[in-house]
């Protein structure tokens, strides 16, 4: 089977989309400048909640980036032929999401002007320092992999090894991202080895949800054929990934519930944490887990619209999950004096208040728009999308 890849045609819709994304990027850059110029006092962040909404967007995008590569890995590494035509978009989406996420992370630094320091001065005991190598390495490796995918002379020899290296690297990368929290001994909600596999499961689900939406939108907007065969395979896989995330979430909370030491933080998330409890049960579990599973594995899952809704819900639930983890994990007070009621002028012993400020949200949206703008430009400039992903083109063994 040889898929014919073709750039998309420029149309008013294409330019409209690009201009819209560019506007969101500019607004995001403006928000970053506003925050950096004034200092972080203009944000909702405090000395209690030091990582705010930009980190929620950044971590979500970075986690989703490694997951977006899975589609390519399934084709190259696991040899599933129907996935092979999907690999190029998968690789480009992975790099684009990572760039968008990193842009948000860097622009929210207290001193983004010192990025060169971060690139030249390392403390190798820091998982953050490792991540700098994991992120830049990921981009290089995936771009080489993309080159192998696009060069017909190279692919037979180097396609699988390149895909294998990229697949292993992305697993290590997400382990590194999860370990940002897993290695934090200080806070009740973190300090757990399960953070690494949990983040890998999250990346599978978030990345595939975004991939499905991008794929369906690209083919609808360009009038190309996208058959049910590949869409159904992807949506079933998404369902499995969503269930996988739920498994790790359940294991994490059940383990914590067993230990009296963790009852406080569990009650905070599950029972009395206000916005965090709401986000956990209603958005992450009900909208982001139960609803997509019900849609994807019922007859609703035969409708493209419902598959799109389910993917969007997975993304919404994922953002809520990262919000609860990042913000909720900081809002819950440090346990310095177990058995004591604690109070101070520095807000010891109380749940920290945090509300996202507009510039923080705009910066996060700007990074997201940057990721999608890169994809839009790439599908126009490069031979990324097969001309047809009809059932016949994708699956030569199809009955009809």
Please give the residue ranges that form the binding site for another protein (CB under 8 A).
36, 38-41, 45-48, 50-51, 109-112, 114-115, 117-118, 121-123, 125-129, 132, 180, 183-187, 330, 334, 336-337, 339-348, 352-353
For another protein, which is the closer residue by CB, 124 or 399?
A: 124
Beta carbon of residue 51, minimum distance to another protein (angstroms, whole number) = 6
For another protein, which is the closer residue by CB, 281 or 347?
A: 347
For another protein, which is the closer residue by CB, 2 or 341?
A: 341
What b/e sequence results for 218-239 when a residue is b if at least 16 CB atoms lie within 10 Å of its CB, and e otherwise? bbeebebebbebbbebbbebbb
Q: What is the DSSP letter of 1?
A: -
Beta carbon of residue 325, minimum distance to another protein (angstroms, whole number) = 12
Q: Is 378 exposed, middle or buried, given 0-12, 13-18 or 19+ CB atoms closer than 10 A?
A: buried
Beta carbon of residue 288, minimum distance to another protein (angstroms, whole number) = 25
Report the Cα 170 to chain-centroid distance in Å: 12
Pull the structure tokens for residue 111. 């001193």
What are the residues facing 226 on neighbouring strands?
389
Name residues whose C-beta falls within 8 Å of residue 1's C-beta, 6 or more positions apart in sequence. 81, 393, 394, 396
Quickly tell me which residue has 């004034």 as its tokens. 38
Beta carbon of residue 384, minimum distance to another protein (angstroms, whole number) = 34
Residue among 177, 130, 148 at smallest CA distance from 87: 148
Beta carbon of residue 348, minimum distance to another protein (angstroms, whole number) = 6
Beta carbon of residue 140, minimum distance to another protein (angstroms, whole number) = 20
- 274 vs 136: CA distance, rounded Å: 38
For another protein, which is the closer residue by CB, 39 or 223?
A: 39
For another protein, which is the closer residue by CB, 81 or 353?
A: 353
- 94 vs 158: CA distance, rounded Å: 20
For another protein, which is the closer residue by CB, 345 or 400?
A: 345
């Amino acid at each position: 089977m040889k898929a014919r890849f073709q750039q998309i045609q420029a149309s008013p819709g294409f330019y409209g989309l690009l201009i819209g994304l560019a506007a969101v990027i500019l607004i995001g850059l403006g928000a970053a400048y506003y925050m950096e110029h004034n200092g972080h006092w203009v944000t909702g962040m405090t000395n209690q909640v030091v990582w705010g909404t930009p980190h929620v967007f950044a971590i979500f995008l970075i986690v989703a980036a490694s997951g977006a590569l899975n589609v390519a890995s399934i084709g190259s590494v696991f040899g599933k032929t129907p996935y092979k035509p999907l690999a190029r978009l998968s690789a480009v989406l992975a790099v684009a999401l990572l760039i968008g996420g990193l842009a948000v992370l860097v622009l929210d630094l207290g001193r983004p002007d010192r990025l060169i320091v971060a690139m030249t001065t390392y403390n190798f005991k820091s998982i953050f320092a490792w991540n700098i190598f994991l992120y830049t390495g990921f981009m290089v490796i995936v771009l080489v992999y993309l080159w192998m995918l696009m060069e017909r002379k190279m692919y037979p020899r180097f396609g699988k090894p390149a895909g294998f290296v990229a697949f292993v690297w992305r697993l290590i990368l997400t382990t590194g991202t999860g370990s940002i929290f897993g290695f934090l001994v200080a806070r009740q909600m973190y300090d757990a080895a399960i953070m690494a596999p949990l983040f890998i499961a999250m990346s599978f689900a978030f990345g595939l949800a975004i991939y499905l939406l991008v794929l369906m939108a690209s083919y609808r907007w360009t009038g190309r054929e996208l058959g049910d065969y590949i869409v159904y395979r992807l949506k079933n896989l998404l369902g499995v990934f969503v269930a996988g995330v739920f498994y790790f979430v359940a294991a994490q909370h059940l383990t914590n519930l067993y230990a009296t030491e963790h009852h406080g933080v569990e009650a905070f998330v599950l029972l009395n944490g206000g916005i965090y409890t709401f986000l956990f049960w209603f958005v992450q579990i009900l909208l982001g887990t139960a609803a997509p599973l019900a849609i994807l594995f019922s007859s609703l899952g035969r409708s493209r619209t419902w598959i799109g809704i389910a993917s969007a819900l997975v993304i919404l639930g994922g953002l809520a999950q990262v919000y609860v983890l990042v913000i909720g994990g900081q809002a819950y007070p440090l346990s310095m004096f177990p058995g004591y009621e604690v109070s101070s002028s520095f807000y010891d012993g109380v749940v920290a208040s945090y509300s996202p400020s507009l510039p923080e949200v705009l910066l996060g949206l700007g990074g997201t728009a940057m990721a999608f703008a890169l994809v839009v430009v790439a599908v126009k400039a490069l031979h990324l999308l097969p001309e047809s992903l009809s059932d016949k083109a994708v699956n030569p063994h199809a009955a009809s």
